[in-house]
Structure 1
């Protein structure tokens, strides 16, 4: 059994937004990796609920430039801190 990975709600929100954009634009993980100047395995790790990898502000800035969006687009409109528990995933 894999170890439990905790992801904060805001982190999961960003991951979900990026994944949705990637799929809507029909981009592969490899394409997104090229945009972010990282490896496709990093993108796979971020999208894998059993891996603690996450996007950082530099990634969000590059994505905003590429998609011609504000960096604010990737963040929730309101704080997600009201949720007591972080997203938790198990096998």
Structure 2
């Protein structure tokens, strides 16, 4: 099960990707990942999530700050 911070981060990446009208398959290709893996990350019922290296690469690809993927304040109870 994903933690609250993982769910938040995944949603922020997806929102930014969709703002740029970037299809999941194109995004996955740019990240050198399979679209199936990205689909599993975006599925809240799997335990797959982005790591910090992924988030750094995503920020470069989506032309934003890595901080854009994190909440202003930490979650006190991070586990779902």
TM-based fold match above 0.5: yes
Q: Using the alignment, how far apart are the partners of 2:36 and 2:72 within structure 1? A: 30
Contact 1:35 1:62 in 2 (8 A): no
Structure 1 window deviating more from structure 2 (11-20 vs 29-38): it is: 29-38
Task: For 1:8-87, list aligned pairs within 5 A.
Answer: 8-80=3-75, 82-83=76-77, 85-86=79-80
RMSD: 1.4
Structure 1 stretches of 5 or more lacking a match? 1-5, 87-91
TM-score, normalized by length of structure 2? 0.88
Residue ranges of structure 2 left out of the alignment (5+ in a row): none
More helix by share: 2
Name whichever structure is richer in strand by fraction.
Answer: 1
Give the count of matched residue pairs: 80
